[in-house]
């Protein structure tokens, strides 16, 4: 019987030569990495690099991952989804326990499931959901400083939420995309946007079919301007319609951003749930 915690896994009687596709749910602290994507410089630690190295130890052959959405340096995830191709049948417990035993403490596989060849972590996704976490407090917090964005300004979440409603629906989000964004189209469909307070923490909860580079952080920066009283809620609508990135606020810090869920068609049967940051579980 295969020991899922064995780090020197070899072929077993249950292994097959046909390729299997495995989907994994991933959680990571982005402050520890230079983003998701593997870099040309091996000295730069990435989430993809750490995962592929650990998964290769379980599979006993090189692994290449496809993710639902690449995250930038400093951005976290509690609900990232990836898939991989494997030539052997290790069993779902091995992918979970075996891989976690080989990963740094800042990355964890939350679930593993065998899927059909018609599943694709990126192209099968119906939507992605992010949380952006802000702490508005006169004193900078001593803990979780790399897991949230701090401002000394007292923010009006009612005004922030009102402003966010102007972004709902399918729109041209050119005003909220990074200059280096490589997407072929600036149109995205924002299905849900809510701003919630939990004591000193404020959460921007946003879901869309997909996001442009820095889109959530640019929206967060503009909503902070509204919350601080420097702009009215209607200003966000004007910025959106202008399609001019120069008119929006500065890009908010990556430290407050979390990919919390990726939604797929029910036919894949994946255990998808929105899992917010651990200190904000009431928002899960």
3-state helix, strand, coil in the chain (%, to 5): 25, 25, 45
The structure tokens listed for 33 are 């990495």
Q: Residue 99 region, left (φ>0) first, then alpha (ψ -120 to 50), else beta?
A: alpha
**Active-site residue flag, 72:** yes
Element (H, E) at 218: helix 215-227
CA distances to 108, 147, 198, 218, 258 from 221, in Å: 29, 16, 19, 5, 15
Q: With contact defined as beta carbons under 8 Å apart, do 25 and 109 qualify?
A: yes
Q: Which candidate, 1, 84, 60, 71, places its Cα nearest to that of 259?
A: 71
Element (H, E) at 51: helix 47-59
Q: With contact defined as beta carbons under 8 Å apart, do 237 and 166 qualify?
A: yes
Count of C-beta atoms within a 10 Å radius of residue 224: 24
Rounded to whole angstroms, the Cα distance separating 20 from 5 reads 20
In the set 15, 72, 89, 172, the catalytic residue is 72
Q: Which candidate, 238, 183, 181, places its Cα nearest to that of 214?
A: 181
Which residues are marked as active site? 72
């Amino acid at each position: 019987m295969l020991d899922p915690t064995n780090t020197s896994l070899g072929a077993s009687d249950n292994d097959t030569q046909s390729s299997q596709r495995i989907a994994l749910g991933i959680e990571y602290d982005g402050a520890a990495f230079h983003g998701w994507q593997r870099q040309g410089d091996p000295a730069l630690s990435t989430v993809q690099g750490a995962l592929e190295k650990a998964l290769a130890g379980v599979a006993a052959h090189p692994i290449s991952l496809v993710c639902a959405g690449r995250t930038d340096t400093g951005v976290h995830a509690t609900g990232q989804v990836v898939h991989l191709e494997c030539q052997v049948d290790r069993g779902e417990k091995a992918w979970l326990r075996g891989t976690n035993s080989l990963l740094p403490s800042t990355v964890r596989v939350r679930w593993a499931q065998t899927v059909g060849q018609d599943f694709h972590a990126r192209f099968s996704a119906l939507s992605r959901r992010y949380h952006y976490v802000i702490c508005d407090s006169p004193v900078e917090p001593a803990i979780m400083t790399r897991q949230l964005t701090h401002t000394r300004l007292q923010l009006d979440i009612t005004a922030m939420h009102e402003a966010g409603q102007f972004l709902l629906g399918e729109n041209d989000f050119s005003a909220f995309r990074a200059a280096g964004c490589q997407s072929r189209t600036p149109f995205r469909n924002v299905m849900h946007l809510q701003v919630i307070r939990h004591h000193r923490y404020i959460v921007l909860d946003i879901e869309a079919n997909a996001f442009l580079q820095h889109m959530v952080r640019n929206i967060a920066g503009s909503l902070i301007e509204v919350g601080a009283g420097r702009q009215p809620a209607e200003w966000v609508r004007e910025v959106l319609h202008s399609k001019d990135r120069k008119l929006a606020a500065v890009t908010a810090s990556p430290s407050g951003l979390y990919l919390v869920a990726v939604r797929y068609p029910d036919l894949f049967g994946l255990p998808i749930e929105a899992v917010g940051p651990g200190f904000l579980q009431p928002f899960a």
